[in-house]
Structure 1
Amino acid sequence: MCNLTRLRSMALDSSGKQPEQQQQQQPPPRASTEAGLKLRKTPNEELEPDNYEDLQLDFSPVLFSSLERYLPEQVLNSTRNDKARFMRNLLLRYSPETERIRIQRHREYREKILSSYQRLHVEIYSLDPASFFAPSFLNALSQKSEQGLRSIMSQPSAGIFTFEMLNPRFCEMLLAEVEHMEKWVYDSRTTIMRPNTLNKFGVVLDDFGFESMLKKLVDDFISPISQVLFPEVCGTALDSHHGFIVEYGKDRDTELGFHVDDSEVSLNVCLGKIFSGGDVYFRGVRCDNHVNSEINDKEMYDYSHVPGQAILHRGRHRHGARATVSGHRVNLILWCRSSSFREMKNYQKDFSGWCGECRRVKTDRQKLSIEATKQALIKIGAEKASKPSAD
């Protein structure tokens, strides 16, 4: 995905002109871009962005929906096609050619899957809360209160929340769908893109047609929950995602190395099956500058998976997975991202609100300041006491 922050900073400063070399490499911009219109410096939080998934675009439809919040009023009041054209021109001007090629190839890859893959359980591609979720989860959310939400949450360690989430029947259907996907990949000899660089097994659900369903899951459920539990890293909302399945066991991945996720908030739900081992170990939340810093004993926590149960944590919460020693474990992972948080993060240096190491450094600095002030006052008091009395 194109770097939205870099794009915005360029567009805000742009007068509509490009360096000569860039003009030669990039397609000529439309008149609307040449007019020098600039993106908003802050997003329009009241705007409900259009959906661009049905358009033939050079970039991810999610990127267009996120960028729309920054459009100037002149463009915002135009048709959806005109808005898409304006944003496309900006993206073409400021994104590297290699990025455009990568996005185009990924789009063609998805189109090939969607045109050939025959779904097994069509009903799970559209979000149906009544059949997807556990009754306790639905009841808690129906109360529309923080108290109701927290009533089903366990917080075994700081910043880690566990709760019953998925209906067993839905877990069974999703597992069957994933097996059906893997069989189709094998039979059709399709080269499949795996979830990330660490997982060599599993599938990206968005590539197989789950993007709309997962977007609704994030918008209607995960984002509101995260605004309560992790307000400091959610920005104004979680507005994009990466959803995938990971598989562990014999002839699959066995463990997962120590890492952080490319997300603001991560949802991890065990779907099954029968397995032993595979615990997730957590070792503290860190910003980019402190991701390799030491571990505090209080930050250490190990979590054992339970089918249907979810674990929700900050993406920057360092973690890994121990070896699955027997059986077959399958998990649904949803990385949830906030474009507004990532934008604001570029202008911050102190993340003590959520980074454990930033908090420690800040606390140590405050202690040193207090001690220095204390010593200064003691010295002043001693000097006053040593002076002879006026009498």
Structure 2
Amino acid sequence: MHRELYTMHATNFFVPSFLMAIKDNTEESFRNMMSEPSPGVFTFEMLQPRFCELLLSEVENFEKWVRETKFRIMRPNTMNKYGAVLDDFGMETMLEKLMEDFIRPISRVFFSEVGGSTLDSHHGFIVEYGMDRDVDLGFHVDDSEVTLNVCLGKQFSGGELFFRGVRCDKHVNTETQPEEILDYSHVPGNAILHRGRHRHGARATTSGHRINLLLWCRSSVFRELKKYQKDFSSWCGECQREKKERQQQSVAAIKLELLKWEGEAAS
């Protein structure tokens, strides 16, 4: 219905501050248009209201067609019962360009240790929340290296995201440290960008209808290398704590040995 959605029209899609930052393509330009409310979680204005309206309208038309034809479609993931995979109705090329030209430059700067500079595939989808839709979303990690989550609208209350620290497979169920706690309230047109391994969930949408665009960005290079790694302290919060603890114990043991040696030498 809205053909302009299927190819990348950057000036029609994005707000000027986002386009300017991408054009300059420096850490400074990215930081100027972003907030970082918690380490590794970035929020910024991204989509123009008109683009959000067109995409919502396109999704509604697609869902209407699905209902009328009783066509079976794949839902976004194992957790969301409502929504649609955008790649399945022709948006794959546009989303690929979104990842390559707009998300990968940012990820190269802020998420290099999880394959941010080698993102090479994506899974793009819409999720829907409301009283007659999915209400909330449990605590989980994404099947991505980097996740882009943009609120499209509509009118709603509740639905806050809660973040609880980045974890590798081994530590995914470990407890959260106080400094890792972040709650984020969605604003239509605004994006949140984070590592896929950043544990998070969504609180109940208490009224209205909330619809979000998600882009899971993946790196085949990072996934291959990860198979042979044992130390993830460059990005896993718990691995970092364990490493720090080992270093402190090692320093303490050396100090003890020195004191012992000095004592023996004195006697």
TM-score when scaled to structure 2?
0.99
Select which of 265, 289, 295 maps to 2:146: 265
> In structure 2, what is the Cα distance between the partners aligned to 1:146 and 1:317?
21
Note the alpha carbon deviations across 1:303-348, whole angstroms, 9 max, x for none.
0000000000000000000000000000000000001111111111
Pairing 1:379–2:260 present: yes
The equivalent of 2:66 in structure 1 is 185
Q: Secondary structure at the match of 1:200?
A: coil
> In structure 1, what is the Cα distance between the partners aligned to 2:195 and 2:92?
22
The equivalent of 1:352 in structure 2 is 233
In the TM superposition, residue 144 of structure 1 has moved relative to its aligned partner by 2.5
In the TM superposition, residue 188 of structure 1 has moved relative to its aligned partner by 0.5
Select which of 219, 227, 230 maps to 1:338: 219
Query: What RMSD over aligned residues (CA atoms) do the two structures have, in Å?
Result: 0.8
Pairing 1:320–2:201 present: yes
In the TM superposition, residue 236 of structure 1 has moved relative to its aligned partner by 4.4
> In structure 1, what is the Cα distance between the partners aligned to 2:79 and 2:22?
34
Select which of 203, 206, 210 maps to 1:329: 210
The equivalent of 1:199 in structure 2 is 80
Gaps of 5+ in 1: 1-119, 387-391
Larger Rg: 1
Q: Secondary structure at the match of 1:197?
A: coil
Amino acid aligned to 2:254: T
Pairing 1:276–2:189 present: no
Q: Secondary structure at the match of 2:78?
A: coil
- Stretch moving more, 224-233 or 235-244: 235-244
Amino acid aligned to 1:281: F
Q: Is the 8 A contact 2:104 2:116 kept in 1?
A: no
In the TM superposition, residue 150 of structure 1 has moved relative to its aligned partner by 1.2
Pairing 1:154–2:35 present: yes
Amino acid aligned to 1:347: Y
The equivalent of 2:191 in structure 1 is 310
Pairing 1:364–2:248 present: no
Q: Is the 8 A contact 2:107 2:117 kept in 1?
A: no
Note the alpha carbon deviations across 1:159-213, whole angstroms, 9 max, x for none.
1000000011000000000111110000011111100010000000000111111
Q: Is the 8 A contact 2:157 2:205 kept in 1?
A: yes
In the TM superposition, residue 250 of structure 1 has moved relative to its aligned partner by 1.6
The equivalent of 1:215 in structure 2 is 96
Instruction: Select the structure that is richer in strand.
Output: 2
Amino acid aligned to 2:63: E
Q: Is the 8 A contact 1:235 1:339 kept in 2?
A: no
> In structure 1, what is the Cα distance between the partners aligned to 2:248 and 2:108?
32
> In structure 2, what is the Cα distance between the partners aligned to 1:348 and 1:305?
35
The equivalent of 1:170 in structure 2 is 51
Note the alpha carbon deviations across 1:88-138, whole angstroms, 9 max, x for none.
xxxxxxxxxxxxxxxxxxxxxxxxxxxxxxxx1111010100000011111
CA 158–235 in structure 1, closer or farther in 2 if over 3 Å, else same: closer
In the TM superposition, residue 242 of structure 1 has moved relative to its aligned partner by 0.2
Q: Secondary structure at the match of 2:11?
A: helix
Q: Is the 8 A contact 2:105 2:117 kept in 1?
A: no
> In structure 2, what is the Cα distance between the partners aligned to 1:286 and 1:343?
18
> In structure 1, what is the Cα distance between the partners aligned to 2:100 and 2:237?
28
The equivalent of 1:109 in structure 2 is none
Q: Is the 8 A contact 1:247 1:328 kept in 2?
A: yes
Q: Is the 8 A contact 2:163 2:183 kept in 1?
A: yes
Q: Is the 8 A contact 2:25 2:105 kept in 1?
A: no
Select which of 219, 222, 244 maps to 2:125: 244
Amino acid aligned to 1:214: L
Q: Is the 8 A contact 2:104 2:117 kept in 1?
A: no
In the TM superposition, residue 237 of structure 1 has moved relative to its aligned partner by 1.2
Q: Secondary structure at the match of 1:151?
A: helix
Pairing 1:124–2:5 present: yes
Pairing 1:133–2:18 present: no
- Stretch moving more, 277-286 or 136-145: 136-145
In the TM superposition, residue 146 of structure 1 has moved relative to its aligned partner by 1.8
CA 345–201 in structure 1, closer or farther in 2 if over 3 Å, else same: same
> In structure 2, what is the Cα distance between the partners aligned to 1:274 and 1:285?
31
Amino acid aligned to 2:224: E
Amino acid aligned to 1:222: I
Gaps of 5+ in 2: none
- Stretch moving more, 309-318 or 235-244: 235-244
Q: Is the 8 A contact 1:237 1:338 kept in 2?
A: yes
